Amino acid sequence: MDILTIGIESSCDETSVAVVKNGREVLSNIISSQVEVHKIYGGVVPEIASRRHIEVIDYLLDEALEEAGISLEDIDVVGVTAGPGLIGSLLVGVSYAKGLAFALGKPLVGVNHIAGHISANFIEHRDLEPPLLCLVASGGHSHIVGVRDYTEFEIIGKTTDDAAGEAFDKVARILGLPYPGGPNLEKLAAGGDPCAYEFPKSYPSRRDYNFSFSGVKTAVLNLVNSLKMRQEPVPGEDIAASFQKNVVEVLIDKLINAAIDFNYDKVAIAGGVSSNKALRQKLKEEAEKAGLKFYYPAPVYCTDNAAMIACNAYYEYLRGNISDMTLNAYPHIGL
């Protein structure tokens, strides 16, 4: 019998509702981005984000059901991001999902947002199965995760300071680019020379799979400040390209070393930064050289979306991990 899972995502500045069949077939994935709302502030304003989630979530559910060609009663499982994320934003989705599950008398499943990002790969590649090693690089997280099973994870490395996406956003801001920083920095980098500047890399040791991106960010800041002080032009394209090369190389190097050291033959990427074309292209080459199979989701499943949440909720449901009405929002919960 088919199982239809509704996914609800509201952890940051995207509201999304999706319907997914048997965990992997996306029937609808409606995303309402708040980029325009937050653009004038140069970043996400949490209070505004949660209010905006409230305004649109009901309409998104209607749209998701309509596009999937089903009615509310057809839903078998209600999955929702319970954390990590912004507390006010998370609470909107969690409260909405609880109401929905209670009214329909259907099981409620609280999903970890990072596990959701990883699951994007299972949607994209229907035959992909764990175990695999996944790099989750988003605005809030940079993790190397051993995916032992659909719901069983082992964190092999993580950032000790800024997340990769956070570093992209901060460097974009230093270069005067508008929010959202990551995609805009990638566009600027396309016209630059990636070898123009050598920024410091965080390689404490080969066996260390943790990241640190605050050093490269500060190096860019110091460079831009000193150029401005000397009233010299700031070559934004070259700086963006050199910064992007630095981050991409560190992410890839650590992922591949970890795959070899921990005996994984499949590597995947997930999270907003994984939509970066330089990262995808270079990792494809490096994974091939190392004899590893490489998987990546379509850009729409890299950034925040509810289909990935429904996918993970489905597998949690199959394993009997059902939440009850005490489910809360957990802003700092780990994987």
- Detail the residues annotated as belonging to a binding site for substrate: 136-140, 169, 182, 186, 276
The values of phi and psi at residue 84, to 5°, are -80, 170
d(CA 154, CA 12): 24
**Residue 186 sits in the site that holds ligand KG4 (CB under 6 A):** yes
d(CA 109, CA 310): 9
Which one, 101 or 247, has the nearer CB to ligand KG4? Answer: 247
Candidate segments 93-101, 124-132, 160-168, 318-326, binder of ligand KG4 by CB under 6 A? 160-168
**Residue 10 sits in the site that holds Zn ion (CB under 5 A):** no
**Residue 246 sits in the site that holds ligand KG4 (CB under 6 A):** no
- 185 within 8 A of 277, measured Cβ to Cβ: no
Distance in Å from the first CA to the final CA of the chain: 30
Considering only residues 205 to 244 of the shown chain, the ones binding ligand KG4 according to CB under 6 A are none
d(CA 26, CA 73): 18
- 12 within 8 A of 312, measured Cβ to Cβ: no
276's contact among Zn ion, ligand KG4, none, with CB below 5 to 8 A by partner kind, is ligand KG4
- 268 within 8 A of 262, measured Cβ to Cβ: no
Which one, 301 or 315, has the nearer CB to Zn ion? Answer: 301
Q: Which of 16, 275, 312, 323 binds ligand KG4 (CB under 6 A)?
A: 275
**Residue 169 sits in the site that holds Zn ion (CB under 5 A):** no
**Residue 14 sits in the site that holds Zn ion (CB under 5 A):** no
Q: Provide, rounded to whole angstroms, the least separation between the CB of residue 100 and ligand KG4.
A: 23
271-310 footprint of Zn ion as x/- string (CB under 5 A): ---------------------------------x------
Helix (H) or strand (E) holding 85: none
Amino acid found at 270: A
ω into 131 cis (within 30 of 0): yes
Which one, 75 or 216, has the nearer CB to ligand KG4? Answer: 216
- 119 within 8 A of 149, measured Cβ to Cβ: no
Give the footprint of ligand KG4 on this chain (CB under 6 A). Answer: 12, 138-140, 165-166, 168-169, 180-183, 186, 271-273, 275-276, 303-304
